[in-house]
């Protein structure tokens, strides 16, 4: 379970355990021959069988040991089986201290009180810069709106997080920070972005496309280990088996969870997803919002609000579909989702949740009252309105209403935009066996369809390590 604690304010999540619960584990079979004319060994990669009834791929209990030796064959050889297991790199969740400590921020807080900014009619505030001369900062309307919004939810964030963090400390999931360890901690070397998936999407546009008469879905069968580039943007790739699989794409290896599906394409090539035989009961969206930071870093291509608005979400949504959208702390984006985007999709806003990012010791990764970076992000939840009545008439199982103003507290991954898993948090608010879709995904989940132009990014082998191998 990725849910460590569930309390009235919300949930304390363990993102790393959710990833590793998939058990990316493979069996290596090795045949050793005694004949001089036979090769000494022949190794091939197989898949670990996982329980198809479990949404998170729990291993099937088997009487067979992880390492076995089969009796010799007529050629004088024997067959040995060893297990190789992969886990996500734990150091990518090793956030031991805040990115910006409260001590560094203390002086600015003393002269930049949010309560004064919001209640004052003045838009010019003097900000102390240590012993240097004071400089005058003019806040625009967007910044003032953000300050006012922060003031409204500040106590909710502070009080709710405190309850979940204290419970995490009591249970031992979180642990107090030790300054000596912080000083000697090793720096994290991030994996290289070995395969530029977004560029691959651009390349695929110039390849011959499949006709509409051809299959829109490619199911990985047996020991499939490779997918040709042509298949990716023109077909949904499905791993319907109970096996984790490893595929090779442009010379790079990616791990695929069992019961997962994906389409690697950009917003101009979504037709295979629309032609898919399923509609979805929950759609999670993490749009690449436009902002100055993204433009400066050039980390990914952003979309304008109007481009996001034109996405065919209504065609993908089943009756009473739950829509969940990640929103940055810019009030412009939050207002757009609630007042323009959701109404255009016939979606009714039903709740706002907040993802609160903390360290392993339970501190906010940024000071709560920082005027720049906040330690939280917003999720806007809504239901498809025009199909709701039909869903209520046909529903065999009634799901509870989605509660408002809940917190999801977790230690964030150091990789940019690696959001915490929502599967276990949302399962109570969708019907059993509901179909799940993530748009603009960068990783795969068992039981989910994922779409995006970097949909396999965090499935790359560079982000995993071999835990053990042996006969």
Average pLDDT over residues 305-309: 93
Q: Which of 137-141, 321-325, 389-393, 455-459 has the lowest mean pLDDT?
A: 389-393
- Dist. CA 247–CA 253, nearest whole Å: 6
Position 245 scores a pLDDT of 87
Q: Which of 95-104, 220-229, 318-327, 340-349 has the lowest mean pLDDT?
A: 220-229
- Quote the mean pLDDT of the chain: 76
User: Which backbone phi and psi does 410 adopt, to 5 degrees?
Assistant: -160, 160
Q: Is the pLDDT of residue 429 over 90?
A: yes
Mapped to the 3 state alphabet, what secondary structure does the chain carry?
CCEEEEECCEEEECHHHHHHCCCEEEEEEEEECCCCCCCCCEEEECCCEECCCCCCCCECCCCCCCCEEECCCCCCCEEEEEEEEEEECHHHHCCCCCCCCHHHHHHHHHHCCHHHHHHCCCCEEEECCCCCCCEEEECCHHHHHHHHHHHHHHHHHHHHHHHHHHHHHHHCCCCCCCHHHHHHCCCCCCCCCCCCHHHHHHHHCCCCCCCCCCCCEEECCCCCCECCHHHHHHCEEEECCCECEEEEECCEEEEECCCEEEEECCCCCCHHHHCCCCCEEEEEECCCECCHHHHHHCCCCCECHHHHHCCCHHHHEEEEEEEEEEECCCHHHHHHHHHHHHHHCCEEEEEEEEEEEECCCCCECCCCCCCCCCCEEEEEEEEECCCHHHHHHHCCCCCCCCCCCCEEEECCCCCCCCCCCCHHHHHHHCCCCCCEEEECCCCCCCCEEEEECCCCHHHEHHHEEEEEEEC
Contacts of 464 (CB under 8 A, 6+ apart): 24, 86, 87, 88, 89, 255
Position 165 scores a pLDDT of 98
Q: Is the pLDDT of residue 109 over 50?
A: no
- Dist. CA 66–CA 24, nearest whole Å: 14
Average pLDDT over residues 445-464: 92
Range ranked top by mean pLDDT from 4-8, 39-43, 121-125: 4-8
* Tens of pLDDT, residues 56-70: 333 333 333 333 333
Position 122 scores a pLDDT of 38
Contacts of 176 (CB under 8 A, 6+ apart): 169, 361
The residue that leads in pLDDT, 49 or 355, is: 355
Position 257 scores a pLDDT of 92
* Tens of pLDDT, residues 80-102: 556 678 999 999 999 999 988 66
Contacts of 296 (CB under 8 A, 6+ apart): none
Average pLDDT over residues 202-207: 58
Position 195 scores a pLDDT of 57
User: Which backbone phi and psi does 159 adopt, to 5 degrees?
Assistant: -70, -45
The residue that leads in pLDDT, 195 or 460, is: 460
Position 12 scores a pLDDT of 98
Position 363 scores a pLDDT of 96
The residue that leads in pLDDT, 431 or 80, is: 431
State the chain's maximal CA–CA distance in angstroms: 91
Bridge partners for 384 per DSSP? 347
259 Rama sector, left if φ>0, alpha if ψ -120 to 50, beta otherwise: left
pLDDT band at 103 (very low <50, low <70, confident <90, very high): low
- Dihedral sign for Cα atoms in the order 167, 170, 173, 179: positive
Q: Is the pLDDT of residue 40 over 50?
A: no
Q: Is the pLDDT of residue 325 over 90?
A: yes
Q: Which of 66-80, 191-205, 340-354 has the lowest mean pLDDT?
A: 66-80
CB-based contact 465:87 (threshold 8 Å): yes
pLDDT band at 397 (very low <50, low <70, confident <90, very high): low
Average pLDDT over residues 111-129: 42
- Dihedral sign for Cα atoms in the order 324, 327, 331, 333: negative
pLDDT band at 278 (very low <50, low <70, confident <90, very high): confident
Question: What class, spelled out in words, does domain 1-19+89-124+134-462 have in CATH?
Answer: alpha beta
pLDDT band at 327 (very low <50, low <70, confident <90, very high): very high
pLDDT band at 16 (very low <50, low <70, confident <90, very high): very high
The residue that leads in pLDDT, 103 or 245, is: 245
> With pLDDT > 70 as the criterion, what percentage of the chain qualifies?
63
CB-based contact 258:241 (threshold 8 Å): yes
Average pLDDT over residues 425-445: 94
Q: Which of 68-72, 158-162, 225-229, 271-275 has the lowest mean pLDDT?
A: 68-72
> With pLDDT > 90 as the criterion, what percentage of the chain qualifies?
44
Position 51 scores a pLDDT of 38
The residue that leads in pLDDT, 403 or 235, is: 403
pLDDT band at 326 (very low <50, low <70, confident <90, very high): very high
């Amino acid at each position: 379970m990725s849910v460590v604690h569930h309390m009235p304010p919300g949930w304390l999540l363990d993102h790393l355990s959710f990833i590793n619960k998939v058990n990316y584990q493979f069996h290596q079979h090795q045949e050793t021959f005694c004949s001089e004319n036979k090769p000494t060994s022949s190794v091939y990669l197989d898949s670990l069988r996982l329980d198809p009834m479990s949404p998170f791929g729990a291993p099937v209990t088997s009487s067979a040991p992880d390492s076995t030796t089969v009796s010799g064959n007529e050629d004088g050889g024997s067959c040995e089986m060893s297990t190789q297991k992969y886990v996500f790199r734990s150091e990518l969740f090793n956030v031991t201290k805040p990115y910006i400590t409260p001590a560094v921020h203390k002086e600015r807080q003393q002269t930049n009180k949010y309560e004064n900014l919001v209640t004052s009619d003045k838009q010019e505030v003097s900000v102390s810069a240590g012993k240097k001369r004071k400089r005058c900062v003019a806040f625009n309307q967007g910044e003032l709106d953000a300050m006012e919004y922060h003031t409204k939810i500040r106590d909710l964030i502070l009080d709710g997080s405190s309850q979940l963090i204290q419970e995490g400390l009591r249970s031992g999931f979180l642990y107090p920070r030790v300054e000596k360890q912080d000083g000697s901690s090793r720096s994290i070397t991030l994996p290289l972005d070995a395969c530029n998936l977004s560029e691959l999407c651009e390349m695929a546009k110039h390849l011959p496309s499949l006709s509409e008469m051809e299959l829109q879905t490619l199911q990985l069968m047996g020991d499939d280990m490779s997918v040709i580039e042509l298949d990716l943007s023109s077909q949904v790739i499905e791993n319907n088996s109970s096996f984790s699989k490893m595929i090779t794409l442009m010379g790079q290896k990616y791990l695929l969870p069992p019961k997962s599906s994906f389409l690697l394409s950009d917003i101009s090539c979504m037709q295979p997803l629309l032609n898919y035989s399923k509609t979805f009961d929950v759609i999670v969206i993490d749009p690449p919002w436009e902002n100055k930071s993204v433009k400066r870093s050039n980390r990914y291509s952003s979309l304008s609000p109007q481009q996001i608005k034109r996405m065919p979400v209504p065609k993908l949504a089943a009756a009473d579909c739950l829509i969940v959208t990640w929103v940055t702390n810019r009030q412009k984006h939050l207002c757009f989702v609630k007042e323009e985007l959701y109404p255009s999709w016939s979606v009714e806003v039903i709740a706002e949740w907040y993802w609160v990012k903390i360290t392993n010791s339970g501190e906010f990764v940024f000071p709560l009252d920082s005027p720049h970076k906040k330690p939280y992000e917003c999720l806007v939840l809504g239901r498809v309105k025009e199909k709701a009545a039909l869903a209520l008439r046909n529903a065999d199982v009634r799901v509870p209403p989605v509660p408002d103003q809940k917190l999801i507290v977790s230690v964030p991954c150091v990789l940019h935009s690696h959001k915490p898993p929502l599967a276990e948090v949302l399962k109570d608010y969708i019907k059993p066996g509901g179909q799940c879709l993530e748009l603009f995904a960068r990783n795969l989940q068992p039981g989910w369809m994922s779409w995006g132009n970097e949909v396999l990014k965090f499935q790359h082998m560079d982000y995993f390590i071999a835990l053990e191998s042996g006969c």
